[in-house]
Structure 1
Amino acid sequence: MAHDWQFDVPTAGSKRLPPDARYMEALSSQGYSFEVAIADLVDNSIDAGAKDVVVHFLRDGDQLVSLLVVDDGRGMDEKALDVAMTVGGRRDYAAGALGMFGTGLKAASLSHASAVTVVTTTKRTRAVGRRWLMARAVSGFQCDIVVPDYAQSLIDRYDNKRPIEWQGTVVRWDGVKGFPKHGGGGQTDRYLHRTINKLGLHLGLHLHRFLARDDFNITIAVEDVRTGTVYMNFGVEPLDPFGYPVTGHPDYPRSFMAALPSVGRVTLEAHIWTPKSNLDEYRAVGSVMDRQGFYFYRHDRLVQAGGWNNFRQPEQHLSLARVAVDLPDDPGDAFRLTVKKSGVEATPEFSAALEKAGDASGRTFLDYLGAAETVYRDARKRSGTTRKPVLPPGKGLDPVVRETIEDELPIIPSEEPISLRWQKLDNDLFFAVDREDRTIVLNQHYRAAILGGRRGGLNDAPLIKSLMYMLLHQVFEKEYSGSREKDNLQLWQSILISAARAEVDRVADDD
């Protein structure tokens, strides 16, 4: 039976439905990684005109106690601070601002801390502070007012250590969820080394255009609050994803124009990286599959580092292709930025425009993709002439390592991969070879010592596993082991057992 369709939904008035206080829990569960959350705070510092930003880890002996992000920006008066601490607070963002939704400070902070305190001062106003304590926030959006004397003392603490003078902002996290619960046995040092390295790379990449300027710096530091000792104090270096010393193709970089009906012309700056590069600008960005594709910028801030946005599937043959795209100030409906500023959603309009994109000489964007693929294939041919095909690596080896092996070595097609796993073995064995399951088995007894107290997982111990794969992959390419190969296996077993036991003894001595 046919029915008339109403193109508008009839309504009978409206009613106000304010959010439940538990909305704060949803706000803090948006999947912010640690480094993405810190980058969001640094964005606020940049919007405030900061020249120097310090990411400061505070520890008390072996225990990490707080994390602070300190800047020498314009600061805020009390009214502006209340707006900043309001979820979705309405504020007018200046042209070129990195902030967008009014949720970043709260969502990023409460994703990782049970309390976030903001203390700030301007040239004309006294220091003021507010604190969101998660336990109070979820019971009714109750935001604490920080005692003025403490607010000033926190400002003064950093006034003597950087050019803050009369203005600036301090964001303090307490109850940070990712901090080690027990810092003994070197856990805190290992956590700091791993976390700071990852954070430095992330900030260096996503804010590389700002860090390349002479008047902007980010410092990551660690201080022991008991002794006042400051160490691991270093500046973040820019990590330009297009910072190759020599282009991979003489015709690139080259600019193409994509015409999108809703936003107009968008420039695509197409680059081809040098094959086999070991530079951090190429290798530290991510895996082969992750680092190819589009690098979207919004107001000079990198908001997506790689990916083809449904234009095509990532593949190894395009691992040298990177395209810089500066989003228009008004992206319309063609581009949508995620709240975390860690990705861009592009509509089919963008993909359609890429098919027709070209430059003034008549060269097309599709020609560029073909050129990038050719450079990669030619480099593989040159290296493949001297390298024997190998069985592919499989489960248990970090995906980045697997992709590097597949990038560097020709793979025997249609073969089951070699997996690596931990399993209980006799203590006089470091490894075992399971030909039937095509698996390298590592002795679970030595796992903790090799990991050095770090948490284990499917792809843990990448260095040891990579070496074991390189040492043993040829064993699986033969149906049986000859006398010479058996002797080698026994030799490797003896040496590795001695090394593993030495590692166990070293850990015991440290304890």
Structure 2
Amino acid sequence: MKTRTVPPVAGALIGSLRGVGYSLEAAVADLIDNSITAGAGAVSLNLSWNEGSPIASIFDDGTGMSEDRLVEAMRFGGTGPNVARTTSDLGRFGLGLKTASFSQCRNLTVVSKTREGQAAFTWDIDFLAETGTGWRLIEGDDRLAPGLKIDLDNHATGTLVVWRKIDFGRKDDCPSHASFKRDLARLDRHLGMVFHRYLDGDASSLSIRLNGSHVKAWDPFLEGRSVPTPNQPIQSPGGKILFRGFVLPYQDRFATKEEFEDAGGPNGWLLQQGFYVYRLKRLIYSGGWLGLGGARGWTRDEASKLARLRIDIPNTADLDWQIDIKKSEARPPESIRQRLQQLADDVRRRAREILVHRGEYGRRSAASGVSKIWKVNSESSSRRYSVDRSHPLIAAFRKKLSGERQALLDSIFTLIERTVPVERVWLDVSEKGVDTTLPDDAELVGSALDLARILERNGLPFAEAVSSIQQMDPFDSVQNLREKLLLLDRAKQ
């Protein structure tokens, strides 16, 4: 068989790999994967604006690499996806360090230190373009500013990655200082989400500092405050996975608006609903429904925004879960999709119930006796939503009316029911979400007091009126409403 060796042109291939599609935050996360695999307990990131010519350095205190190992780490595809890995290895393709770095910069230097010595190498895209087609790796770190190596000099072992000629993968569209600062804020939030189980100590303990400030973990599941489902082990191609669902608290369970918004995550409540897929407790897929839900597929909707689901997969399942180079996408194997859909459907149903009943499903169920103005009728009914004519307030008012006026009141209710702006409400919720904040207690107590006095004037003793009102939605949400109303009544007397 006649063959011919056709090696790729170095500069051209690297230039093509720059278009893989990494964001800044995904690129940095890929480098931190290497730090975790190296046993690092601390990672320090420094990104400097440098008067419009940004420089980035990422240092970890891991075991470091010998010269030979570092050469292999700098080799493109040095270890492919089919090489056997340890159970703690977060890598896969042997491309992450290079493709992640070159998606953001044109000059990559890695300096690594073991107890036996130190080695350094640099890939420079412009140098490769100038010198032809070869793969010429620059040795040494003599071109590196001494200040960048302070952390490495102060540790017995570790690895330093430096990005220079940063252009964020763009040709002419240079970011402004303001957009650079926004990128850093987004990076902070992203790292807090992707590595939250490491930062919280659920995995091997890790601290991450970004420009001197500690990155804070963001737990998508609010464990300890949410309602979890039991752990469900599932036998899957590539190894056993573990599923667990969480229904998050309703909005009024948060102390402040800021706390509620923080719980929504980097992209907000609507976009952060759904599945979270972890590979060795490192987040791969954050929010969305993995294409489940039948032919049309579930979408991120308001009704399911309190549903979040965790899946843990081993690193032996990469191929079957179609983990991509950026480690930001995943797709479950066909053999377990139906089981995942069943489990997810249950969590979505629970989340919808919490949302409909304002976080008080158990206390606000029909058996609890809480009175609601609106009824949701069956699909076969002529009107999906109707005013409950048996509501205590409506019933009390009707008793005082003549037959003709009762008929007029019923006609008004019918008109209201037939003109509920369902389409408008649906559109507003889809576009803007829904403000589910209840009125504050003072406003509700004031309204309840007015209603109690009206009922009293119509012949119902004040104490009985109070007992009836405290069983009505939304007054049942006020703590000690009866005591507050009776105290206000006594003060009036």
Is 1:131 the counterpart of 2:107? The answer is no
Q: Larger % of strand: which? A: 1
Matches within 5 A, 1:109-188: 109-126=101-118, 128-137=119-128, 139-147=132-140, 149=142, 153=146, 156-159=149-152, 164-178=154-168, 187-188=176-177
Alignment size in residue pairs: 361
Structure 2 distance, partners of 1:295, 1:242, is 10
Equivalent position of 1:254 in the other structure: 230
Distance 1:264 1:212, change over 3 A: closer
Equivalent pair of 1:72/1:169 in contact (CA under 8 Å)? yes
Task: Give the letter aligned to residue 324 of structure 1.
Answer: R
Equivalent position of 2:405 in the other structure: none
SS in structure 1 at match of 2:89: coil
Task: Give the letter aligned to residue 62 of structure 2.
Answer: G
Equivalent position of 2:30 in the other structure: 40
Distance 1:333 1:199, change over 3 A: closer
Equivalent position of 2:346 in the other structure: 367
Equivalent position of 1:95 in the other structure: 87
Equivalent pair of 1:287/1:403 in contact (CA under 8 Å)? no
Is 1:273 the counterpart of 2:248? The answer is yes
Distance 1:143 1:274, change over 3 A: farther
* Structure 1 residue 94 displacement after superposition: 2.6
Matches within 5 A, 1:249-328: 249=227, 252-260=228-236, 262-263=237-238, 265-276=240-251, 278-279=259-260, 282-312=263-293, 313-314=298-299, 315-328=301-314
Equivalent pair of 1:65/1:175 in contact (CA under 8 Å)? yes
Distance 1:375 1:409, change over 3 A: closer
Is 1:237 the counterpart of 2:216? The answer is yes
Q: Deviations over 1:443-502 (max 9, x none)?
A: xxxxxxxxxxxxxxxxxxxxxxxxxxxxxxxxxxxxxxxxxxxxxxxxxxxxxxxxxxxx
* Structure 1 residue 200 displacement after superposition: 0.6
Is 1:379 the counterpart of 2:358? The answer is yes
Distance 1:246 1:404, change over 3 A: farther
Equivalent position of 1:407 in the other structure: 434
Equivalent pair of 1:129/1:151 in contact (CA under 8 Å)? no
Task: Give the letter aligned to residue 339 of structure 1.
Answer: I
Distance 1:200 1:140, change over 3 A: same
Tell me the TM-score normalised to structure 1 length.
0.62
* Structure 1 residue 263 displacement after superposition: 4.6
Equivalent position of 2:331 in the other structure: 345
Distance 1:287 1:384, change over 3 A: farther
Equivalent position of 2:316 in the other structure: 330
Tell me the TM-score normalised to structure 2 length.
0.64
Equivalent pair of 1:268/1:324 in contact (CA under 8 Å)? yes
Correspondent of 2:196 among 187, 194, 208: 208
Distance 1:149 1:135, change over 3 A: closer
Distance 1:351 1:181, change over 3 A: closer
Structure 2 distance, partners of 1:123, 1:148, is 18
Structure 2: 5+ residue stretches without partners: 365-371, 375-419, 438-493
Structure 2 distance, partners of 1:292, 1:24, is 36
Structure 1: 5+ residue stretches without partners: 1-11, 222-232, 358-364, 395-400, 411-511
Distance 1:328 1:93, change over 3 A: closer
Distance 1:79 1:320, change over 3 A: same
* Structure 1 residue 291 displacement after superposition: 1.2
* Structure 1 residue 147 displacement after superposition: 3.2
Task: Give the letter aligned to residue 69 of structure 2.
Answer: A
Equivalent pair of 1:333/1:347 in contact (CA under 8 Å)? no
Q: Larger % of helix: which? A: 2
Distance 1:32 1:88, change over 3 A: same
Matches within 5 A, 1:80-91: 80-90=69-79
Q: Deviations over 1:395-437 (max 9, x none)?
A: xxxxxx9868322279xxxxxxxxxxxxxxxxxxxxxxxxxxx
* Structure 1 residue 286 displacement after superposition: 1.7
Equivalent position of 2:459 in the other structure: none
Once superposed, what is the RMSD of the aligned Cα atoms? 3.6
Structure 2 distance, partners of 1:141, 1:407, is 58
Matches within 5 A, 1:418-429: none
Structure number with bigger Rg: 2
Distance 1:25 1:58, change over 3 A: same
* Structure 1 residue 66 displacement after superposition: 0.9
* Structure 1 residue 181 displacement after superposition: 11
